[in-house]
Amino acid sequence: MDYRTSETLVGPRSEDALPASAAAAVKIVIVGGFGVGKTTMVGSVSEIRPLTTEETMTQAGVGVDDIAGVERKTETTVAMDFGRISLNEQLVLYLFGTPGQERFWFLWNGLFEGALGAVVLIDTRRLEVSFDVLGRLEERGVPFVVAINAFPGAPVHPVDELRAALDLPDAVPIIDCDARDRGSSRDTLLTLVSYLQHLTTVTPETP
């Protein structure tokens, strides 16, 4: 079989095409530890079947040879799920669900740059996996909300205990969500957008 024949068919199904009027896009990134429901959330609100994009990252190796001055570099391909929501005839929202390997999220140039904000999905059985990402988002000035994904058997903590455990400022919304549910996932995104609106209207706080 000639593999090239398949190339003519590459691309979106006709029902997945954006209107010709689509003029600009915005993005929101969904982050969180391994298996916390990122892909599920992307899928539950996306208007297209979620797709996978990938990027090749070059990382300086850990074993740096000082004497020879040779740095080992490793190439890794990182795959990222994403979905799409047409907000109106001109504006399109893309949702990116980061893969489980946290150390790559912030190496992906252009993933967080220009993002409206992020949703941090949290599994209360494994709070510690979120510490690093929360710190990095704060460091980069990416606004975020925290969504607690309700897994069966997960411990239920009062919100103020969670806030303390995660060391989050009072202003950062913490909400419950079920990533499998379209309405709940949409509400999580709406919480992020109202928080962003709040940030734009609030006067810069004095520390």
Enumerate binding residues for Mg ion (CB under 5 A).
Answer: 38-39
State both tokens at 105.
Answer: 């999220």
Please identify, using beta-carbon distances, which residue of 39 and 149 lies nearer to Mg ion: 39
Please report where in the chains the tokens 């297209």 appear, as a residue: 48
Indicate the residue among 7 and 128 with the shorter CB distance to ligand GTP. Answer: 128
Q: Does 152 bind ligand GTP (CB under 6 A)?
A: yes
Half-sphere exposure of 36 (CA within 13 A, CB side): 29
Q: Which is nearer to Mg ion, 100 or 173 (CB)?
A: 100
Rule CB under 6 A: is residue 153 a binding residue for ligand GTP? no
Least gap, CB of 147 to Mg ion (angstroms): 15
Among 18, 116, 150, 172, binds ligand GTP (CB under 6 A): 150
Which CB, 20 or 67, lies closer to other proteins?
20
CB 36 within 8 A of CB 97: no
SS (H, E, C) 133-154: HHHHHHHHCCCEEEEEECCCCC
As measured in angstroms, the least distance from the Cβ of 37 to ligand GTP is 3
188 binds ligand GTP (CB under 6 A): no
Burial zone of 45 (CB within 10 Å; 0-12 exposed, 13-18 middle, 19+ buried): buried
CB 25 within 8 Å of CB 91: yes
Q: How far is CA 97 from CA 131, 153, 176, 185, in A?
A: 18, 24, 18, 13
34 scored as a contact of ligand GTP (CB under 6 A): yes
Residues near ligand GTP (CB under 6 A): 32, 34-40, 97, 99-100, 149-152, 178-180
